[in-house]
Amino acid sequence: MRIVVIGSVAAGTSAAAKARRNDESAEIVIYEKDRDISYSGCGLPYYIGGVVKERAKLTPRDEEFFKQRYNIDVFTGHSVTDIDTVSKRLSVANMATGERFEDRYDKLLIATGAHPIMPPIPGIDKPNVFPLRNVAHADAISEFIQEKQPRRAVIIGGGFIGLEMAENLVHRGIAVDLADMAPQVMTPLDPDMAIYVQQYLERNGVKLYLGHAVEELLGKDEVDTVRLAGGIEIETDMVIMAIGIKPEVELAKRAGVALGPTGAIAVDTRMRTNVPDIYAAGDCAEAFSVINGKPLYRPLGSTANKMGRIAGDQMTGGDLEFRGILGTGIFKTFDMAVAQTGLSEKEAKDQGYDVVVCHNIKYDHADYYPDSAEMVIKAVADKATHKILGAQIVGPRGVDKRIDVFVTAITFGAKAEDLFHLDLAYAPPFSTAKDPVMYTGMILEGILKRQRPLMTPDQLIQRQMAGEPVTVIDTREPEVYEKGHIEGAVNIPLEDLRCEAGKLDKNMPVVTYCNRGVTGNAAQNLLLQMGFKEVYNLSGGYNNYKVQRKRF
């Protein structure tokens, strides 16, 4: 059997290696139009920033490695230009010599990946405008920085790559401005979580221009000014295009391979396309959601590796099948980790779920142990089934540990109330006695099962702006209240509430709050037991409210 793989990064090489482990007799060939194979694309910003010192660390395997280890023939600088699905033949071009030849296959894997979006903006073809998708792009950026010593850079795009590049360029002494036509950075996040990232970026010197599309890149030989919608102009020495990527599917389309609704190649759980004996995997292929089975395109190296392994197994008679993804993502910008999994609040509502949400601000480990730090967790659950639908977390430490617990819980269909019963590891250097994940479950259970509703800062602000009557009670001590409080809030510390509650209208909606939510919840419990009809605890407390108020 002859297996041909088109593409040699995460999915292609994983598939070829798995196929070889399953079948020593198969002929396995990989064609790659790039010069680098099996590289770590996610590490490119850190190579540019100097965190990763050696290029070779990102490209540890070459053609010789695959030949010696797996007896796989890898041809770099070779582009597959056509696929004849009837005769099972390929047209291949040697990009260095111009030679063209044909090859044949019994099983074919399309792992062509994705390409960076480069919109037709005037000036985008100038030599100091750079995409970042492969090692060659990283080389070009690094060489430009080394030779030209730029003082300022504009990053266009506020996603993973844009924010990682912001950190790494600042680390190299380059002032960074970041522009995005979206009104927030990191569009997979809900706005009330993205605001934490935005404020953190600004504290680290990154100037943000959100809600402004790029109209033109100005300059004679090189770009020296970026013009945004509204007439805003930003001076710069270089531009990084980080708008996003699109699946590389043109070759597949010409061969009659069907695409899914996301624009990526449609595959089944065995990574098979609609064309017999043609498979697809990696950033060119469509995944589906673990939560609801709907098509999903979230291209990440972890998913590409998984898809590739499954494809390699299936092409050689194995039984591995793809089980879908949650779209989990995590990245670091400066010292903040940002993670999300599953559905955001907006996505869940758009897909018809009746949701409950909570904001939980907790320390990553015991606050009395050195170097503890707060993280903000937003969780989304389905009101009907109580199942957890998604989570978003920001904070300097412990974020990766917690997001992976949520991933596991959602994958196996956990309900919100199940989180409290997890036997998570605890010691003061590592966690709190009630881990933030467990505490999130407690908050959600209170909403879903114990009639302890939350009101988000957004909801409270909107009510106040609309002039709707609501009693807001600040349960903190007077000296804390005086330092800052919600406009119109009455200060009744928790220990005084039993006596003072009689002066309040029990039929008026009431919102209680403290700094982070614990004392506010105690006040909510007390008022409900005293006969108040409609009492909410403010989600995330005053600390969350202060951040959200700046969005309005």
- Cβ 374 vs Cβ 368: under 8 Å: no
Task: Specify burial of residue 190 (Cβ count, 10 A radius: 0-12, 13-18, 19+).
Answer: buried
Backbone angles phi, psi at 393, to 5 degrees: -140, 140
Q: Which residues contact 145 (CB under 8 A, 6 or more apart)?
A: 48, 172, 174, 238
Task: Specify burial of residue 279 (Cβ count, 10 A radius: 0-12, 13-18, 19+).
Answer: buried
**H or E element in which residue 116 lies:** strand 114-116
CA angle 116, 204, 374 (to 5 degrees): 100
Show the tokens assigned to 386: 């109580």
CA-CA-CA-CA torsion sign (411, 415, 417, 418): negative
Show the tokens assigned to 427: 């010691």
**Residue among 244, 18, 264 at smallest CA distance from 131:** 244
Residues forming beta bridges with residue 254, ordered by sequence position: none
Rounded (10°) CA dihedral 96, 99, 101, 105: 0
CA-CA-CA-CA torsion sign (202, 549, 406, 263): negative
Residues forming beta bridges with residue 381, ordered by sequence position: 356, 388
Catalytic site positions: 42
For residues 409 and 403, what is the distance between their CA atoms, to the nearest angstrom?
Answer: 10
Helix (H, G, I), strand (E, B) or coil at 126: coil
